[in-house]
Copies of this chain bind each other. A is one copy, B any other.
Amino acid sequence: AETKKIAVIAGDGIGPEVVAEAEKVLQKVGEVFGYSFETEHALFGGIAIDEKGTPLPAETLEVCKRADAVLLGAVGGPKWDNNSKELRPETGLLGIRKELGLFSNLRPAVVFDCLKDASTLKPEVLEGTDLMVVRELTGGIYFGEKFRRETEYGEEAVDTCAYNVTEVERIARQAFDIAMKRRKKLASVDKANVLETSRLWRETVIRVSADYPEVELEHVLVDNCAMQLLRRPSSFDVIVTENMFGDILSDEAAMLTGSIGMLASASLGEGSYGLYEPVHGSAPDIAGQGLANPIATILSTALMLRISFGYGEAADAIERAVAEVLDAGHRTSDIAAGRVEALSTKQMGELILKAI
């Protein structure tokens, strides 16, 4: 098979530790299945601010652009939190999404059997929860014009939220395509009773739905969705929504599974290009101590193999290996719940490697 190029962005905090384990998994999968991967590392986020004076250096963007996919650890930390806007890790994150055209963020929220008890929801409510939030990632209020101006009521700040039909259509199609491969249910979330962008969103989703007669479509207002996620999480299959609502709802959905430290995500552009990263953050409090759980990053790598490279078998093998290791009772400290001896990041990575 051709060599797949992967841009590896270790990032900040526990990023480098978890990414190191994911890279070993990549290598192993290459050996076992006969795939060839070439990785190229690049600086991004806080470390790039420190070493290059910008969160998203031009050469990092170059490395990403010439790759077939990007693997990202985590970015940010208190060290950079009070920097000016251009010198903050988040600014790099928004920049890389826009520059790489990553218009769609997939956040699967599933419940890991071994973590059922970690959820604050009752087990019977959580039972069967397996949903996917499809969040629009390069439009809306995140990227609209922002400014300040003087008014008679003092300084005023303005953010602009805009969506055009093309943007809504491509994310809607992707969500319908994903729903077709799952349980064929799609909840489109908006605030059509208040926002003009939501009315355009809803009209467009309805128009696109004509091409997917098998998918059962419901429109849910964002406030109601925040409630229904708590009341009937297992009734959702795919949720599609705009950038800001998706930011809030995907985090709510991830948290209610109790498995937030184990969840993977994919940010996709046109074609098969994508950026893959764990849902969890850079956890500066435990960085550098070998305590971090590498599973979310390893599962993000599996997503990369499946979605960007079409290596479904290899992705399955990784996911099976993770399940096997967890079933055997192995845990890092975040999921040990004080009940079993906790493994280090490397030990967990090692066990998963062996199980592949």
Contact with B along A145-188 (1 / 0, CB 8 A): 01110010111111111111111000000000000000000000
Q: Which of A36-44, A252-260, A268-276 contacts B (4 or more CB under 8 A)?
A: A252-260
A226 beta carbon closer than 8 Å to chain B = yes
CA distance A90 to B162 in the complex (A): 22
Distance in angstroms between the alpha carbons of A164 and B194 in the assembled complex? 21
Interface size class of A (residues with CB under 8 A): 35 or more
**Residues of B contacting A195 in the complex (Cβ-Cβ under 8 angstroms):** 141, 146, 157, 159
If over half of A's interface residues share one DSSP class (helix, strand or loop), that class is named, otherwise mixed; here it is helix
Q: Does A325 contact B (CB under 8 A)?
A: no
Most chain B beta carbons < 10 A, residue from A94, A142, A256: A256
Q: Is A120 an interface residue (CB 8 A)?
A: yes
Q: A253 to nearest B CB, angstroms? A: 9
- Known A-B contacts A226-B226, A252-B227; the reply to A156 vs B161 at CB < 8 A is no
How long is the Cα–Cα vector from A88 to B194 in the complex, in angstroms?
A: 11
Asked if A79 is at the interface of the complex by the 8 Å CB criterion, the answer is no
- In whole angstroms, what is the CA distance A248 to B242 when docked? 14
Instruction: Kindly report which residue of chain B lies nearest to residue A254, judged by CB atoms.
Output: B227
CA distance A260 to B191 in the complex (A): 21
- Which residues of B have CB within 8 Å of A71? none
Q: Which residues of B contact A162 (CB under 8 A)?
A: 156-159
Q: Which residues of the other chain, B, contact A201 by a CB distance below 8 angstroms?
A: 157
Least CB distance from A92 to B in Å reads: 12
Interface string of A294-326 (1 = CB under 8 A from B): 000000000000000000000000000000000
Chain B residue at minimum C-beta to C-beta distance from A148 = B196
0/1 per residue, A229-261, Cβ < 8 Å to B? 011000000000000110111111011100010
* Residue of chain B at shortest CB distance from A89: B193
Cα–Cα distance between A22 and B230 once the two chains are bound (Å): 30
Q: Is the CB of A153 within 8 A of B148?
A: no
Q: Is A199 an interface residue (CB 8 A)?
A: yes
A–B pairs, 17, beta carbons within 8 Å: A122-B122, A142-B194, A147-B196, A148-B196, A155-B164, A155-B200, A156-B163, A156-B200, A158-B160, A158-B161, A159-B196, A223-B248, A224-B251, A226-B248, A226-B251, A230-B256, A231-B255
Using A159-B161, A227-B251, A244-B244 as known contacts, list a sample of 16 further A-B pairs with CB atoms less than 8 Å apart, ordered by residue number in A.
A90-B194, A120-B230, A141-B159, A141-B194, A153-B166, A154-B166, A155-B200, A156-B162, A156-B165, A157-B200, A159-B195, A222-B248, A223-B250, A226-B249, A230-B230, A230-B256
